Amino acid sequence: MDPVTKKPLPYQIIDPTSCPDPPYGSTCQAFPENIIQSIDPVATKVIPFIPAPNRPGSPNFVVNPRERRNDNQFSARIDHSFGPNDSIYGRYIFAQSVTFTTDQAYTTLPGFGDKIRYRGQNIALSWTHTLSPTILNEFRFGFSRNMDIGTCENCPRAKGFVESFGIANLKALSPEDEGFPYFGLSQGYFGIGDSNYRPVESNDMVEKYNDTLTITKGKHTIATGVDMQPYQSLRDQAPFSPHGQFDFGNLYSNFTVSDFLLGYPGSAGRSVAKRVNYHDGKFLNAFFQDDFRATPNLTINIGLRWEYHQLPTDRRDAGAALFPIPGMPLQTPGNAFLVVPGYAQADQLCQEPRFILDQGLSTERHLVMCSADMKKYGFTGRAARSLWFPDRFNWAPRLGIVWRPTSSDKLVLRAGYGLFFELSQFNGFHYGFNNPVQAPNQFVNFESGVTPPAKIDTAFLVGEIPPLSDSFLSINVSPYFKQPYVHEWTFNVESQLTNNMAVEVRYLGTAGRQMSHFHFFGNQAIPGLGDIQPRRLYPDFGFTAEVGSGANTSYNSLQLQLTRKMSNGLSILAGYTWAKSITDQEAEEGGYADGGAGLGQNDNDPKGDRGRGVDDARHRFTIGYIWELPFGQGKKWANGGGLLNGIVGGWKLTGSTSFQTGFPLTPSTSYDVANVGTGSWRPDRTCNGSLPPGQRTVERWFNAACFTDQFLLADLAAGHPRFGNSGRSILDGPGFQNWDFAFLKDFPFGERLRMQFRAEFFNAFNQAHFSDPVRDITDSTVGQIFGAGEPRDIQLALKFIW
């Protein structure tokens, strides 16, 4: 019953203990009048923390979280010339901030946000030395150090807080880890609980050494040099779930909230240990470039780079990776090892009974790889500690052509090609150091379509986690990780229309290969009946979230740009982009927040999830402008001096306006229709589902009737589970238009000093930038929009310039 309107809920609540196969069986009995007589003891303790409804209907609670942020910044710079041949430059920047936010929190409910403290320092130095009129050398040094400390808004909570919920074998790992266990609900309902990975302290340091030699000889300008970037990161963090996590996915009683009230989770997770990670590595680069002015109208640029991005090692030999044995069939016991850094550690762990299955039997197999096998399979040299095979053959050619068809500069044609290696997503690499050997995590997926096997307080049935069992959340980076790279090609036509106006037409295309990808549902089972574990590709291991590099992307766009230089007090820069982005699965950590477009349902067939990219905005128009208002001395109106000019003269209007179509959406279902345990499941699609733009409203953004899971549930009940046929990224989310502008006026004090007043308006017309609609077809509010972006923000500022 809706607690505000007192109207019945649109769900028939099933008693999961009344039948052998809820919620799909016809013999299941419903609770009379949807009233649950006995609430689970743990749920009873959670309910008082859930705020009361503040509006009727669904959703019945609306919150506008307020972000608070305090920033301080200091910078200093020096430029000095020692003579005609030598000059130096130096800069130092210090910044710190404290932010209270819900952006990274698990819920926007009051009291469950995050407090993020940041401190950063940056140093840049350069020395330019002229060796001769045609030879110049520049040496640059850079240093950056950043510290982030993240905690829950109300953490640490009182001593014994975690244990007070009465969940067997769940307690805080340390006093600073006392937090609220997370209880996640589907079907559009708020979850409640403190964030995972809290508290966390991260200290990152990067040094950069670069030397470039430039030689001018005839028609050639040659630049060659080397670049080295050592880096290190110290991370002291809580593991995946320091205070426990429970998700209720509508598996048993036909309603996610009643699953919670009855105490039947769909999955549960916890951690029992944590450790400090201290990893380091370096980037090595070398390059050669030749700008060849072939004719006065034709310039050719040829270049070649070599890049080696060394993957990190941990100074304490933390880390682990799942290594499939080459040539072994899938779904075969013993077809994979867990490899750990260092031969000594490997030989110690591989002989421990807890890492041996079927010990003493003919089927005995070691789950941790011993040093002899590490050497056999190529884990030698640095790879014996980094656990990733080096990828050194990274050559990146570059070619550019600039041609003026006439002697005039009014028409210029440009074409180019380049291969660019991307920096690895090192945020993902910390997963390799948060693994089931040194920082164990227990993650239990309960099977749907059966009598509930556990309640909240019995989800963790053993006192200590048996490492590497099927209840583990194993997180690793693939030993075969390759450096992602992108082919990029472009063709431009630039034309000067008038003395102060130019237009540019550009085609830009890219093709990404070996792109970094977070397999959020790695080692996923093949669809089938019964126990999930034997159907996994590597059945000795459980659900494995893996950072790999096998994704592909493509991007093609037509870009138009109009530039009007300042003339008669007005300058304009306007651009339009018509583009299309195609990718395989591409979700990184936090991929749930992109309309579901980044998550695939079948991790064993990423190409089957090929679709529009999460950033595929088909049309985008932007315009920026500066307008010196025509009032005051020397202007068209109020052309006078004195007090009148001091009030109305000297004002400028600056602004930017953006129009963009929406990012893609993917319909989903809460049911594990394929019985694979983990995944981002999709329904069947029976018709298009996309409404004409004129029919899209916040109450009905897409036609939810075009998506169903009834055939999937029928196939599951009949013993033929399968994935839904609905594609990824098939719908469009809300677009947006935004107007930001500012009024500026300078007040001079003599010749060198002036005070600038700024009145800035962000989202000036207070337009609603709607969030994505509910995509879960099992939710009664599917297709409806309940959130919006930031409202209008007005900022007044004074800036002293000397």
Model confidence at 488, pLDDT cuts 50, 70, 90, reads: very high
- Name which residue leads in pLDDT, 674 or 646: 674
pLDDT digits (tens, 9 = 90+) for 408-440: 889 999 999 999 998 765 555 555 656 667 767
Q: Is the pLDDT of residue 481 over 90?
A: no
In three-state form (DSSP H/G/I as H, E/B as E, the rest C), the secondary structure along 11-77 is: CCCECHHHCCCCCCCCCCCECHHHCCCCCCHHHHHHHHHCCCCCCCCCCCCCCCCCCEEEEEEEEEE
Q: Is the pLDDT of residue 289 over 70?
A: yes
pLDDT value for 589 = 43
CA distance 229 to 244: 39
pLDDT digits (tens, 9 = 90+) for 767-786: 888 989 989 998 888 999 88
pLDDT value for 22 = 47
Question: Which strand (E) or helix (H) includes residue 684?
Answer: strand 684-685
Beta carbons within 8 Å of 136's beta carbon, 6+ residues apart: 128, 129, 130, 213, 214
CA distance 206 to 142: 8
Q: Contact 642/632 with Cβ under 8 angstroms?
A: no
Q: Contact 660/577 with Cβ under 8 angstroms?
A: no
DSSP-based helix, strand, coil % in the chain, nearest 5 = 10, 45, 45
Q: Is the pLDDT of residue 397 over 70?
A: yes
pLDDT value for 431 = 58
Report, as an integer, the average pLDDT of 165-188: 89
Residue 254: how many other CB atoms lie within 10 Å: 19
Report, as an integer, the average pLDDT of 506-510: 97
Q: Which of 10-24, 183-197, 258-272 has the highest mean pLDDT?
A: 258-272
pLDDT value for 104 = 73
pLDDT value for 272 = 76
Residue 768: how many other CB atoms lie within 10 Å: 14
Report the DSSP pairing between strands 365-366 and 276-295: unpaired
pLDDT value for 448 = 64
pLDDT digits (tens, 9 = 90+) for 217-252: 999 999 999 999 999 988 777 767 788 899 997 778
pLDDT value for 643 = 76
- DSSP state for residue 258 in the 8-state scheme: H
Residue 232: how many other CB atoms lie within 10 Å: 17
CA distance 292 to 566: 33
> Cα angle vertex 504, ends 502, 507, to 5°?
180
pLDDT digits (tens, 9 = 90+) for 577-606: 999 999 886 655 434 434 555 567 888 888
Whole-prediction pTM: 0.81
pLDDT digits (tens, 9 = 90+) for 119-144: 999 999 999 999 999 999 999 999 99
pLDDT value for 591 = 42
Say which amino acid occupies 226. Answer: V
Q: In what order do the strands lie in the sheet with 441-445?
A: 182-185, 245-248, 267-271, 441-445
Report the DSSP pairing between strands 619-628 and 684-685: unpaired
Q: Is the pLDDT of residue 5 over 60?
A: no
CA distance 444 to 267: 5
pLDDT digits (tens, 9 = 90+) for 545-581: 777 888 889 999 999 999 999 888 899 999 999 999 9
Domain boundaries, the chain: 316-390, 556-801
- Name which residue leads in pLDDT, 762 or 791: 762
Share the mean pLDDT of the chain: 86
pLDDT digits (tens, 9 = 90+) for 76-103: 999 999 999 999 999 999 999 998 888 7
Report, as an integer, the average pLDDT of 788-797: 85
List alpha helices for 330-447, DSSP H.
343-350, 371-376, 383-386, 426-429
Report, as an integer, the average pLDDT of 346-371: 91
Q: Is the dihedral of CA 242, 244, 245, 251 positive or negative?
A: positive
| Token couple for 456 | 């909240």
CA distance 269 to 473: 8
pLDDT value for 3 = 52
CA distance 386 to 479: 9
pLDDT value for 4 = 46
